[in-house]
Structure 1
Amino acid sequence: MSYVLFNNEIEKASKTGVSYSDRGFQYGDGLFETMISQNGTIRFLDDHIDRIKRGLKELQINFPSEFQDKDFIYDAYKTLKKKNEIEGDCRIKLMIWRKEGGLYTPNNSNYYTLLSIQPFVKADSKKCLTVDYAESIKVPLTPVSFCKSLSSMTYTFAGIEKKTRELDDLILINYDGYLAETISGNLFWIKDKVIYTPKVAVGCVSGIARKNIVAHLEQKGYKVRKVFARKAELLEADTVMTTNVTGVTMIKEIGEKQYKVVDAWKKVFEQAYE
């Protein structure tokens, strides 16, 4: 039996059904954050809260003030971890969506909240990805592209295509032909010791790991460029990788092009998670 925090009350997950008029269910009218706890610490917590808060402002949904309080979040996390009998690190998901009312046009700014956790199993650190470019979908630019929406059809389409093509991941392009991101992570590539990543203005998620990796690299003196880039630039890269809050994964092949897997670069990126 699993437990969640639904509207600040601990409940059995099976009891938190939504009504047919729920706006998260009807329209995907809300946002979420996925966080990782490691050794009892929720990694990059301030950045996660800041991002969802900014996204809710764009959607004109009120921000629940209790989630501005780190003590409240940690108390909820510890309670859920105990109730769910989880040992070790956790994957934590915070969902906030608008209450019922209206059709496409909402008539309120009130919210529901749901905090859930599950064990976090770190991916195989030695795994390298075989990927290609998505053909079925492109990344749109919207006022909330920078955060994670409950309406995630772009990534669902890409996930279906990835499965059909039997690939590990896909690189998504925006409607102007610029490189954007992978299905569940941000994109980085390295050419002649200069590190590149797409600008958030292309429509990619403003990744929390991306933010902290860039800050770490710049602090260490590496050259980092946020760019508008097309496939041709990636063809010239030496090394390519994808990042998210769960870690850094090297890409060994994009289509027919193979790339160097450089463990030293991976370790430099991973230092940002420490």
Structure 2
Amino acid sequence: MMNTNGLLQSKSDANIDLENRGYKYGDALFETLKVVNGKIFFWEDHYFRLMASMRILRMDIPMNFTMEFLEEELLKTVEANNLLKATVRVRLNIDRGEGGKYLPLEETNINYNITVEAHHQPFYGNLPYEDYIVDLYKDFYMAPGFLSGLKSNNKTLQVIGSIYASENQLNNCLVLNTNKSVIEALNGNLFLVKGDVIKTPPLDDGCLKGVMRKQIIDLLKNNPNYKFEETSISPFELQKADELFITNVIVGIQSIGKYRKKTFANNVAVDLIKLLNAKLRLT
């Protein structure tokens, strides 16, 4: 079952208007959420990121789009799929409705739809990483700036980058911006560890404003064992690093095992996973 503007229906019964702006122009945003036993992880951060992104795209936010309303719709959809006592991956999609060309019609209806699928991992674990291999994706580059950091439906680079990774027996690729700085992985934010210093690219380099990125930064800023820097990362730094790891809300932290001829440890990642799970149990 999926939720289209509050209507629960089977996926086979759901139809998308060919004039839908999300379909025609990618004029849409989405949030990927993790729900465990009816609890949405980091819901407040997801909600405020979504509202900020809608404002940047000049979408008229409906009056009923409160945090409480959308949370209720999300959990209603989870319950309709008999997954309220399970671990679930949820996608909340927002589009600007139908009509117009590049310029939307003066009056458009903001649509939302919600889909869910079962997920196997309730809390964040120490995932296998020794054979998790990445390389740079250099066919196309992201433009620096905040538009690149929106979680919009325009994910062409990530799609063809994922095809490239599959064709080259890679688990993931690292993305560069037009300044040739490393900004993220195809499916999450990137952190680099060298000694007690942990770096992640700044948002104005063009990386995603990730919800899990925010959680990890909060943990690092309050941890006396590490020095945190939000700064650009050059490709030359990757092979000098002690650790590299990728973050997103579904897997939490995925350590990288190999980049070209360099292999990495994952000691810091293991420490942060423990702190992250402790934070979740306290909230």
With the length of structure 2 as denominator, give the TM-score of the two structures.
0.89
Amino acid at match of 2:181: Y
Equivalent residue of 1:80, what SS? Answer: helix
Which residue of 2 is the match for residue 233 of structure 1? 237
Measure how far apart 1:185 and its partner are. Answer: 0.6
Matched, 1:76 2:77: no
Match 2:257 to one of 242, 252, 261: 252
Amino acid at match of 1:130: I
Amino acid at match of 2:246: T
Which residue of 2 is the match for residue 119 of structure 1? 118
What is the CA deviation profile of residues 68-99 of structure 1, one whole-angstrom value per residue up to 9, with x for unaligned ones?
Answer: 232x3343233322321224111111100111
Equivalent residue of 1:248, what SS? Answer: strand
Matched, 1:140 2:143: yes
Which residue of 2 is the match for residue 104 of structure 1? 102
Measure how far apart 1:39 and its partner are. Answer: 3.2
Amino acid at match of 2:81: N
Which residue of 2 is the match for residue 40 of structure 1? 38
CA distance in 2, matches of 1:33, 1:65: 19
CA distance in 2, matches of 1:220, 1:99: 45
CA distance in 1, matches of 2:214, 2:111: 28
Measure how far apart 1:270 and its partner are. Answer: 4.6
> CA 1:118–1:98 in 2, change beyond 3 Å: closer, same or farther?
same
Matched, 1:261 2:258: no
The alignment covers a number of residue pairs equal to 270
CA distance in 1, matches of 2:244, 2:146: 28
Which residue of 2 is the match for residue 206 of structure 1? 209
Measure how far apart 1:45 and its partner are. Answer: 0.5
Which residue of 1 is the match for residue 160 of structure 2? 157
Which residue of 2 is the match for residue 243 of structure 1? 247
The more displaced of 57-66 and 251-260 is 57-66
User: Unaligned 5+ residue runs, structure 2?
Assistant: none
4+ residue runs of structure 1 moved beyond 6 angstroms?
none
Measure how far apart 1:116 and its partner are. Answer: 1.7
CA distance in 1, matches of 2:100, 2:153: 18
CA contact (8 A) 1:136 1:161 kept: no
Measure how far apart 1:126 and its partner are. Answer: 3.1
Amino acid at match of 2:80: K
Amino acid at match of 1:76: E
Measure how far apart 1:101 and its partner are. Answer: 1.7
CA distance in 2, matches of 1:270, 1:31: 31
What is the CA deviation profile of residues 232-267 of structure 1, one whole-angstrom value per residue up to 9, with x for unaligned ones?
Answer: 1222211111110021111011112222232x5323
Equivalent residue of 1:135, what SS? Answer: strand
Match 1:194 to one of 187, 193, 197: 197
> CA 1:73–1:107 in 2, change beyond 3 Å: closer, same or farther?
closer
Measure how far apart 1:228 and its partner are. Answer: 1.2
Which residue of 1 is the match for residue 52 of structure 2? 54
Match 1:223 to one of 206, 223, 227: 227
Amino acid at match of 2:74: Y
Matched, 1:271 2:275: yes
Matched, 1:174 2:174: no
Measure how far apart 1:143 and its partner are. Answer: 4.2
Measure how far apart 1:55 and its partner are. Answer: 1.1
Measure how far apart 1:141 and its partner are. Answer: 3.1
> CA 1:148–1:27 in 2, change beyond 3 Å: closer, same or farther?
same
CA contact (8 A) 1:55 1:147 kept: yes
Matched, 1:16 2:14: yes
Measure how far apart 1:164 and its partner are. Answer: 0.8
Amino acid at match of 1:133: L
CA distance in 1, matches of 2:14, 2:33: 21
> CA 1:112–1:270 in 2, change beyond 3 Å: closer, same or farther?
farther
